[in-house]
A and B are shown apart, each in its own frame.
Chain A
Amino acid sequence: AQSVTQLGSHVSVSEGALVLLRCNYSSSVPPYLFWYVQYPNQGLQLLLKYTSAATLVKGINGFEAEFKKSETSFHLTKPSAHMSDAAEYFCAVSRLLGNTPLVFGKGTRLSVIA
Chain B
Amino acid sequence: GAVVSQHPSRVICKSGTSVKIECRSLDFQATTMFWYRQFPKQSLMLMATSNEGSKATYEQGVEKDKFLINHASLTLSTLTVTSAHPEDSSFYICSARLGRDYGYTFGSGTRLTVV
Q: Which residues of A line the B interface, CB within 8 A?
A: 32, 34, 41-44, 46, 49, 51, 90, 94, 96-97, 99-107
User: Once bound together, how far apart are the Cα atoms of A42 and B106, in whole Å?
Assistant: 11
* Minimal Cβ-Cβ distance residue in A for B9: A43
Whether A101 contacts B102 in the complex (CB less than 8 A), given A44-B93, A90-B44, comes out as no
**How many residues from B make CB contacts under 8 Å with A?**
22
Residues in A neighbouring B95, C-beta threshold 8 A: 101-102
User: Once bound together, how far apart are the Cα atoms of A4 and B27, in whole Å?
Assistant: 31
User: Once bound together, how far apart are the Cα atoms of A46 and B109, in whole Å?
Assistant: 15
Whether A103 contacts B111 in the complex (CB less than 8 A), given A32-B102, A44-B93, A49-B103, comes out as no
Residues in A neighbouring B44, C-beta threshold 8 A: 44, 90, 104
Whether A43 contacts B106 in the complex (CB less than 8 A), given A102-B34, A106-B42, comes out as yes
Residues in A neighbouring B45, C-beta threshold 8 A: 104
Contacting pair A103 B46 (CB below 8 A): yes
Contacting pair B34 A97 (CB below 8 A): no
